[in-house]
Amino acid sequence: MAIEKVGVVGCGLMGSGIAQVAANAGCQVTVREVSPQLVEKGLQSIDKNLQRLVDKGTLPQAERDKVRGRLRGTTNLEDLKDCDLVIEAIIEQLPAKRELWNALDKICPKTTIFASNTSSLSITEMATFTQRPDRFLGLHFFNPVPVMKLVEVIRTIATDPKVNEEVVAFALRLGKTPVRTTDRTGFIVNRLLVPYLLDAVRALEEGVGSVEDIDNSMKLGCGHPMGPLALLDFVGNDTTFYIANIMFDEFKEKRFASPPLLKRMVLSGWNGRKAGRGFYDYSDPAKPKPMQMT
Ligand code: 3HC
């Protein structure tokens, strides 16, 4: 079965990016948010991204209009009833996900594939909120979704291998490179990335280097597009703190334990770019100022 109609639940940073790349690949996409204001905000962010591509000359205006024509927003979950695939990108809280999957399981036909974009919660547990664990998997995108080429396709012990391959083919159609992985907290990327980010905070705490020097070391010494502290600000310190806590809880390994400084930054609301302050001060977004450790 080819995936043509796609539902995306949640039109924030990740959901809007997923909706954009699916519409760009020719799918009919319905995005659902909880209020008309959030639907509007999500669609505006997609419009901004598409316009950026038009301005750069990588997307012809006529093609932009076609992509936009394939996207519609709604607040009504029932509008996802004829989707071949529903991708969930809502808040990382299990009770909210349970409520959503319970409802969608009743609305969508048995053939609809359900996928979660979660970065840390158990896909297996979410599948139990439905009567279709064989058609349930993880589909984890990376920020910024239109730019990052990778998608993790996460199967549980109950996922039908044919469904897994259909979703791998869908990811390829989006122009992404899918990797197949299993339902272990953090999957591949965060399992490797989170200890690295936490270690960068430990290095800063221990005075191994300044914010700027730690970031420059990994940028210039290892060719990373961003240093680890800038990446923490980009992803959100609260998000990484949250993921690390879930990973620590799952594996009980020291490498996933959040350093005290990260916890204190989250307690202070210094969550990175979106908060205007993190390891850098973004008062002037064009010239972020690194935090000075006293
Ligand atoms: N949306 C769409 N396109 C964007 C964008 C956005 N938010 N931000 C940047 N771009 C595009 C630009 O238009 C530009 O396109 P072009 O090459 O065709 O001109 C290209 O990306 C490069 O952008 P810039 O020149 O403005 O800036 P940079 O060269 O610094 O690149 C970056 C920005 C792509 C964000 C780059 O710094 C990068 O790759 N950083 C690492 C990001 C990363 O590691 N993401 C994964 C985070 S982990 C995660 O998401 C998992 C979760 O579970 C935590």
pLDDT bin (cut points 50, 70, 90) of residue 293 is confident
β-strand partners of 139: 153
Each residue's pLDDT tens digit, 94-125: 999 999 999 999 999 999 999 999 999 999 99
Token pair in block for residue 40: 């509007």
Ligand 1 atom closest to Cα of 52?
A: 13
**Residue of 88, 116, 122, 140 marked catalytic:** 140
Residue 53 CA, ligand 1 centroid: distance in Å? 13
| Alpha-carbon gap, residue 271 to 269, rounded angstroms | 5
pLDDT mean over 53-65: 95
How many other CB atoms are there within 10 angstroms of residue 249's CB atom?
11
The ligand 1 site (C-beta within 6 Å) comprises 49, 52, 56, 119, 142-144, 146-148, 190, 225-226, 231, 235, 239
**Residue of 33, 88, 152, 166 marked catalytic:** 152
Query: pTM to 2 decimals?
Result: 0.95
Each residue's pLDDT tens digit, 131-155: 999 999 999 999 999 999 999 999 9
Residue 52 CA, ligand 1 centroid: distance in Å? 13
| Alpha-carbon gap, residue 121 to 139, rounded angstroms | 12
Residue 62 CA, ligand 1 centroid: distance in Å? 25
Residue % of the chain over a pLDDT of 90: 99
Which stretches within 9-110 are classed as H helix? 13-24, 36-56, 61-69, 94-107
pLDDT mean over 236-248: 96
| Alpha-carbon gap, residue 56 to 39, rounded angstroms | 26
Is 125 an active-site residue?
no
> What is the set of domains in the chain, with CATH numbers?
5-182 (3.40.50.720), 190-290 (1.10.1040.10)
| Alpha-carbon gap, residue 152 to 193, rounded angstroms | 14
| CA-proximal residue: ligand 1, atom 51 (nearest) | 142
